[in-house]
Amino acid sequence: MTGTSTYRPQPITPAALAELRIRDDAGRPMHPYYNDDNGVPLRCCLRPSKLGERIALVSYAPLRRWAAETGAQPGAYDEQGPVFIHAADCGGPAPEAAGYPWASPGALRAFRRYDARGHIAGGRLVELPENANAAFDKALAEAFTDPEVVQVHVRAVEYGCFHFRVDRPAS
DSSP string, 73-114: --GGG---EEEEEESS---SS-TT--SBTT--TT-EEEEEEE
Q: Are residues 114 and 79 in the same domain?
A: no
Q: Are residues 74 and 29 in the same domain?
A: yes
Task: Quote the pLDDT of residue 171.
Answer: 73
Q: Are residues 125 and 65 in the same domain?
A: no
Q: Which residues contact 48 (CB under 8 A, 6 or more apart)?
A: 38, 39, 40, 41, 42, 102
Q: Are residues 114 and 55 in the same domain?
A: no
Q: Are residues 82 and 47 in the same domain?
A: yes
Task: Quote the pLDDT of residue 145.
Answer: 97
Cα–Cα distance between 21 and 57 in angstroms, integer?
10
Domain stop point among 31, 51, 86: 86
Task: Quote the pLDDT of residue 6.
Answer: 83
Decide if 26 is inside a domain: yes
Decide if 119 is inside a domain: yes
Q: CA distances (Å), 75 to each of 6, 56, 63, in order? A: 31, 28, 10
Decide if 97 is inside a domain: no
Q: Beta-carbon neighbour count of residue 169 at 10 Å?
A: 11
Q: Are residues 159 and 115 in the same domain?
A: yes
Q: Are residues 19 and 73 in the same domain?
A: yes
Task: Quote the pLDDT of residue 28.
Answer: 98
Q: Are residues 51 and 113 in the same domain?
A: no
With a cut of 70, list the residues of the chain below it in pLDDT: 1-4
Decide if 92 is inside a domain: no
Decide if 1 is inside a domain: no
Q: Are residues 25 and 81 in the same domain?
A: yes
Decide if 129 is inside a domain: yes
User: What domain count does the chain have?
Assistant: 2
* Residue 91 burial by Cβ neighbours in a 10 Å radius (0-12, 13-18, 19+): exposed
Domain holding 159, by residue range, is 108-167
CB 49 within 8 A of CB 55: yes
Decide if 161 is inside a domain: yes
